Amino acid sequence: MQAKLNNKEIIVKDNKDVLDINQIKADFPILNQPINNHRLVYLDNAATTQKPKSVIDAQNEFYLTINANIHRGLHTLAEKATNAYEKTREHVAQFIGGVKTEEIIFTNGTTEAINMVAYTWGEKNINEGDEIVITEMEHHANLVPWVMLAKKKKALLKRIPVTPSGYLDLSNIDKIITSKTKLLAVTHMSNVLGTINPIAELAQLAHDKGAIILGDGAQAVPHLPVDVKELGVDFYAFSAHKMLGPTGVGVLYGKKELLETMPPFNMGGEMIDTVTFDNITWAELPHKFEAGTPNIAGVVAFDETLHYLEKIGMENIRQHEITLLDYALKQLTQIDGLEIQGPLEVTNRGGAISFTDPKIHPHDISTFLDSRGIAIRAGHHCAQPLMKILQKVATARASLYIYNDRNDIDALVEALKKMRKYFGV
Amino acid sequence: MSDPLDDMYREVILDHYRSPRGKKPIKKKDIESEGKNPSCGDEIEMELDMDNGKVKDVHVNCHGCAISVASGSMLAEYIKGKSLDEVKKISEVVKKMLKGEVDNLPEDLGDLDALKGVRNFPVRIKCALLAWMTLIEGVKNYEKGKNHPKASISTEDKEKE
Ligand SMILES: Cc1ncc(COP(=O)(O)O)c(C=O)c1O
């Protein structure tokens, strides 16, 4: 998969868009509004994405017609709600490569999914002297839980370095992943550099040493066709809100053999089999990990989100982004002095473009662009250790998705050029 | 049509940003303070040379956005020659004005008035506050007389605000 994505299959098309962007834009009501008297150019998709009307409608429809709690009622609505919720689980299992439905755990996001692994699998399996391997490009969500776990268990946290061009440096990997390694936790796609990491290769390396691998798919699942079986990951986490879905819905995929051996995360209703005051037996997978009432409406609307993405096709989405990214990088690198972080080879990266101006601080860039209707993100992007390595206090980041087109890139580039004149530097 | 941005990035602000005052390092450092704004990474170092209860010289070194740099530069320009009491008073007033606790600066404070525009951009208020909070913390330390150790603040510290 990885190799395919990186080498053949994807070709940079020079001009024509693979998607009918105008038609897609029309599906997103929010895009059709002026911001500060300008057309809204939404380029903050790595933070969160906009929602198509069909997804908003699906969520409304749930509340308007079938709202009930799941798994507990015997009445008609409860059954409908339960079926709708479980239908999404089946859909997610198919969407990421055809895994077992009980291997899909709904969480409130990537962060919770990773914490779930740290607090259950990690608590149980990490001991003093063990090694946990992460990379220098992790989002805090895939960093802080491991730092804390390593501290608590007196385990050693090791990291795979990042090269100046934004790739993982695997030249010393034999020294980093060793027989002491229990877990490799690595992002599939960097939210700062855009880099797509060779997860399948890393999974092989981890497994060869008897370790398991967790992939942070928060930035990958929205933008690439992902097959967790081909990747060979043991755990994989992602968030619905970064892929046109509702906020408050996330997914943890875990191999059944692993999930079965893990203690539950939250304790309460829905995750038990029988309860007495002395003894409790856990519910079957996946319910063991879904205590309490989840974001039912959100999960139900996520089903429609997946339909929407499938209708367009993940391959097409990837192709569109590569084409647009190629255009964007060509335009941006022409702006004198603008420094772009991460790989410049479009087939090895996604559409998160971090950049800095030698004279203008990212916050001023962001405020200026906002006044022109252009939404980007400025800051450390929840990746402070990486910022330190890049020797930046912050970067500006424009990130693409299916509804962006060349007009959006042109607007960005145009505004960046005017910005320098405005600040007079 | 006037550009709403101009309300924050007033010409005076941009002028201070392009050529910040107080850049020249000083030798005698009676007050030393550093501050940072972790959410945007702005950092400031400030030193004051005190003579006879007055600010004889100031050095401000700010790495950050236009607003934080301009605010630090205006601070340097304004407090030079002022008494410690005046410095304390003005820094509290500017802080209150930025936080919207008072509407206007009381007297004619020259360039400092330009900082008012920042209030329309709530996420940027911290940037303007940074220099002043750093100054307040430095003065506090100086008055404690603890052999003037370096003061340090973060705009995220609630208790120090
Ligand atoms: C790479 C990566 N991992 C994890 C997260 C956390 O996702 P969430 O905030 O949805 O839990 C993000 C999003 O900011 C991300 O970009």
Domains, chain B, in order of start with CATH, read 4-154 (3.90.1010.10)
A356 pLDDT exceeds 60? yes
Distances (CA, A) of A150 to A122, A146, A203, A216: 9, 6, 21, 18
Backbone φ, ψ for residue A96 (5° rounding): -100, 25
pLDDT-based confidence at residue B1 (cuts at 50, 70, 90): low
Comparing A18-27, A148-157, B36-45, the range with the smallest average pLDDT is: B36-45
CA distance A216 to A198: 12
CA distance B55 to B46: 13
Answer whether A115 contacts ligand 1 (Cβ < 6 A).
Answer: no
Mean pLDDT of A172-199: 98
Mean pLDDT of B106-135: 89
Residue of B1, B9, B12, B121 to mutate for A, most A C-beta atoms under 10 A: B9
pLDDT-based confidence at residue A5 (cuts at 50, 70, 90): very low
What is the whole-number distance in angstroms between the Cα of residue A111 and the centre of ligand 1? 6
Question: Residue B108 has what pLDDT?
Answer: 73
Comparing A72-76, A284-288, A302-306, the range with the smallest average pLDDT is: A72-76
A159 three-state secondary structure:
strand
Burial label, A171 (beta-carbon count in 10 A; 0-12, 13-18, 19+): exposed
Which residue from B minimizes the CA distance to A362?
A: B65
Which residue from B minimizes the CA distance to A365?
A: B65
Catalytic residue positions of A, numbered: 382
Report angle CA A275, A276, A278 to the nearest 5 degrees.
120
Burial label, B159 (beta-carbon count in 10 A; 0-12, 13-18, 19+): exposed
Question: Residue B156 has what pLDDT?
Answer: 79
Mean pLDDT of A22-51: 97
Report angle CA B2, A374, A309 to the nearest 5 degrees.
155
Contact between B66 and A423 using a beta-carbon 8 Å cutoff: yes
Edge-to-edge strand list for the sheet holding A377-379: A339-340, A352-356, A395-399, A377-379
A11 pLDDT exceeds 60? no
Answer whether A191 contacts ligand 1 (Cβ < 6 A).
Answer: yes
B62 three-state secondary structure:
strand
Structure token digits, residue A33: 């509004």
Comparing A27-36, B23-32, B99-108, the range with the smallest average pLDDT is: B99-108
CA distance A423 to A365: 10
pLDDT-based confidence at residue A282 (cuts at 50, 70, 90): confident
Contact between A367 and B121 using a beta-carbon 8 Å cutoff: yes
Residues carrying CATH 3.90.1150.10, chain A: 21-51+313-422
Chain B CB contacts of A424 below 8 Å? 14, 18
B161 pLDDT exceeds 50? no
Mean pLDDT of A387-393: 90
What tens digit of pLDDT does each residue of A410-422 get? 999 999 999 999 9
A385 pLDDT exceeds 50? yes
Burial label, B53 (beta-carbon count in 10 A; 0-12, 13-18, 19+): exposed
A330 three-state secondary structure:
helix
B154 pLDDT exceeds 90? no
Chain-wide mean pLDDT for chain A?
94
Comparing A79-83, A280-284, B72-76, B83-87, the range with the smallest average pLDDT is: A280-284
- The b-or-e profile of A267-279 (16+ CB within 10 A means b, else e) is eeebbbeeeeeee
A338 pLDDT exceeds 50? yes
Mean pLDDT of A31-46: 97
pLDDT-based confidence at residue B158 (cuts at 50, 70, 90): low
Chain-wide mean pLDDT for chain B?
89
Which CATH number fits the domain A21-51+313-422, given the four candidates 3.10.620.30, 3.90.1150.10, 1.10.3720.10, 3.40.50.720?
Answer: 3.90.1150.10
Q: What percent of chain A has pLDDT over 70?
A: 96
Mean pLDDT of A65-74: 90
Question: Residue B151 has what pLDDT?
Answer: 86
Question: Residue A16 has what pLDDT?
Answer: 62
Residues carrying CATH 3.40.640.10, chain A: 56-310
Mean pLDDT of B66-74: 96
Structure token digits, residue A421: 């004149």
Question: Residue A61 has what pLDDT?
Answer: 98
pLDDT-based confidence at residue A64 (cuts at 50, 70, 90): very high
What tens digit of pLDDT does each residue of A369-379 get? 999 999 999 99
CA distance A162 to A169: 5
Question: Residue B40 has what pLDDT?
Answer: 76
Contact between B41 and A380 using a beta-carbon 8 Å cutoff: yes
B160 pLDDT exceeds 50? no
Backbone φ, ψ for residue A41 (5° rounding): -115, 100
pTM for this entry: 0.92
Which of A114, A138, A139 has most ligand 1 atoms within 8 Å of CB, for mutation? Answer: A139
CATH of region A56-310: 3.40.640.10
A6 pLDDT exceeds 70? no
Nearest to A1 by CA among A178, A264, A236: A236
Q: Are strands A374-375 and A352-356 parallel, antiparallel or unpaired?
A: unpaired
